[in-house]
Every structure is written in C-alpha cells, then in structure tokens.
Amino acid sequence: MSTPQSLATEDNPLDFDPFSSTFFDDPTAIYRRLRNEAPVYFNERYGFWALSRWEDVASAHKDVAAFSSSYGTDLHHLSDPERIPFRMIIFMDPPEHDQMRSLVSRVFTPRAVSQLGPMVRRVVSGFADAIGTADSFDLVHEWAAPFPVEVISEMLGVPAGDRQQIRHWIDIMLHREVGSIHPSPEAESASLEAGLYMFNLVQDHRRHPADDMITKLIEAEVDRGDGVMTRLEDDEIAGFLSLLAGAGAETVTKLVGNAAVLFSRNPEQWQLVIEQPDAIPGAVEEILRYLPPAQYNGRYMLEDRTIRGVTIPAGQPVLLLAGAATRDERAFDDPDRFDITRPPALALGFGYGVHSCLGAALARMESRIAIAEIAKRWPRYRVVEDGLRRVTMSNVAGYSNVPIHTGS
C-alpha cells in the first residue's frame, strides 16, 4: 500500500485544530497529513497531543495504565482536570470502571438487544409513517434525529412526553462554536437542566418503581472494592442515565445521516443494498469505518509513553483520533474508497478496550433497521447537497440536516 507524502513548510504548516471550521467541515485532508507527517502530534495552542495511526490509536485504547479516562474525555475537561463533571463510567478507570459497567452490561448483550427488535422497528417505522408520502423532507431533522432518543428513552424509563427534550438538551450540550474549546453558557445551562432532570427522575422512580432500567439501577448493589455490597447514589444513577441517553441519541442519528449522504454519493453501493439486503450489516460496518460518528476520544497521561520516537509526558491530554485511524493507508487498502463489501474491521468509532461502547449492539441494530427502512420506503432518494449542514460538536461528526428528494 502506497503512502502519500506531504511536508509541512512555512507556507503550509501542519495545524490540527479540532475546533476549526476546517475540522468541522471535513478533516480528511488534515488527518492524512497527521498520519504521514506527525503521527504523534502536539498542538501548542491548546496544549494537547494527538495520535492518528491505526496501530497507535488501538494500542492506546488498551493501555489504561497510561491513558486515563478519569480526567474527562474532551478537551474542555482535559484542559482543566478539576472541572470533571459528576461521575460517569466513561470518566472512570479500572477497577472502579469495571464494577460500575457490570451493572448495565447485561442489558446490552447481543441476546438482550435482539429482543428489542420489535420495539425498535415500531419506533423507526412510526416516525417514518409521520413523514408519509412527502417527496421532499429532511431525513435527519424529521426522522433520524427523533427516533434514536425515543428508543433509548423507552429502555431507560423516561416518560414519553420528555424524550425529545432530552435530545435538544444533548445537542446544545455538545455544540461548540468555531474556535472555542469550551461550551457556551447555553450549553452549560442545558447540562445542568438535563442533569437535574435525570436526578429528579431517579427520585421519582424511588417513590414509584417500574419495570425499567432506572428501577433496576436503584435496586442494584455494587462491590466498591471493600467487599461490602452497597446501593448506588442518586447522582451516580443520574450519571448512568445521562451517558446512556446521550450516546443512544447521538450515535445512531449521526450514523444514519452519514449513511444517507454516503449512499447518495455512491449510488452503486446503494444499488447493492437495494438488490442484496444481506449487505446491510456490512454497510453499517463500512460507514463506521469511513465516517465514524465519534471522531476522537480524549485521555490524560498518567505515565510517560514513547511512541514512534516521541515521548508524551505524564500530565498531558491526548486525543485518540479514531476518525483518522480508520482511514490509515497502513491498515486499509484504498481507505478513501467507500465499499460496503470490504471485510469489516475493528470499529474504533465505538471505542475499544475497557471503554468499548456499551450500546454498540443496539446502535448497530437500529442502524440496520433504519437503512432497511430507507431502502423500503425511499429507494430512489437523492440528497440535496447544497442543503447539507454539518454539526459543530465536541467529539461527534455528522449532519444536522440532510434534505432529500424521494422521486426518481
């Protein structure tokens, strides 16, 4: 496999800024330069390191002794570790992480998720029914954004009337203005509102138990390492709910929106889906490789590590660039070609190692069902390219608006 080369010069400096319009619009070119020119990159402006090659990103995900999650996972938190929010399992290292993860992992096993199929199909088709026979609509705004939060909220036990509000809070919380490492006052306010809502929801479930995940978490006991089984505190359960709702709402929305755009730009691949529905699972894996919703994960160095002759010192934040690693020429043949028949690879976009995505099986199932629904209802759609709008979010990449025409 050949590796294109480009060299940073005074007129063409290598500047990776995850809060720039260049990054938000399309980081493909800067990712290529990082992999080839500075696979262990340091950004002086923000004070972070970045790894971009497949081998290095995958290895770092498994090296929990050095690459810690306990100081946050985005630069807003990593730039000031004292700013860490209330406890979530993504902000924990083993063994604490493993103890907490075990409480909810059984809900997301492939077998448990497969039993959710009828509910997911009902929700996905219900939102599609609401669109009806319109020949033009926004596939993300009207469909791919509302249904995922409905699915995860029904699992959690969030009242039906509150579910879309959760999605709106999450969108505001993750939004970043171009050039700003920190969330806006509106984002901080949305975070507080969402956290308070989840906390109050837990307290309401203590008074009125139900057959849902909130009640199961209230009743669960955990060994915190001292051999004594204890119940979770309300803020810990609220942290679980916030994490699961956020991941469940955002990941599938972005994956399905990305799918619609990629298939519109690669009609021969879409024809494969139409003719061979069995190709859909492979298509989901290729979308995750080609344009993963989660572009990077942040870590904090607890120990020095020397990678490719460069030492990243302890006490420094690092971004593990999954979006760059999954296009690495050293790991994939012709990586910039979208090919749903490509053998599936490790889905770094769902994390790896101890922090691999709890809801990966659910996200895959929702995405497969959604792509099948598009093929059934709108097989001859095309994306209106000049109406596309990308999100400007921390960690997350995809589209807020994907207008389509459904006729020939």
Condensed to tens digits (0 to 9), the pLDDT of residues 340-351 reads 999 988 888 888
Q: Who has greater pLDDT, 108 or 42?
A: 42
Q: Is the pLDDT of residue 4 over 50?
A: no
Name the CATH topology of 21-405: Cytochrome p450 (1.10.630)
Q: Is the pLDDT of residue 81 over 70?
A: no
7-25 average pLDDT score: 83
Query: Per the structure block, which two tokens stand in for 386?
Result: 């000049």
Q: Which residues pair with 51 in a beta bridge?
A: 40, 320
Q: How confident is the model at residue 1 (pLDDT cuts 50, 70, 90)?
A: very low
Residue 103 pLDDT: 77
Angle at 94 between CA 219 and CA 362, to 5 degrees: 60
78-82 average pLDDT score: 65
Query: Per the structure block, which two tokens stand in for 36?
Result: 């080839």
Q: How confident is the model at residue 77 (pLDDT cuts 50, 70, 90)?
A: confident
| Structural domain spans, the chain | 21-405
Tokens 């498994």 found at: 62
275-299 average pLDDT score: 95
Q: Is the pLDDT of residue 401 over 50?
A: yes
| Helix spans in 66-212 (H) | 75-78, 96-105, 110-114, 117-131, 139, 146-156, 163-174, 185-207
Instruction: Output the CA torsion 145→147→151→154 (10° steps).
Output: 100
Mean pLDDT taken over the chain? 90
Residue 9 pLDDT: 57
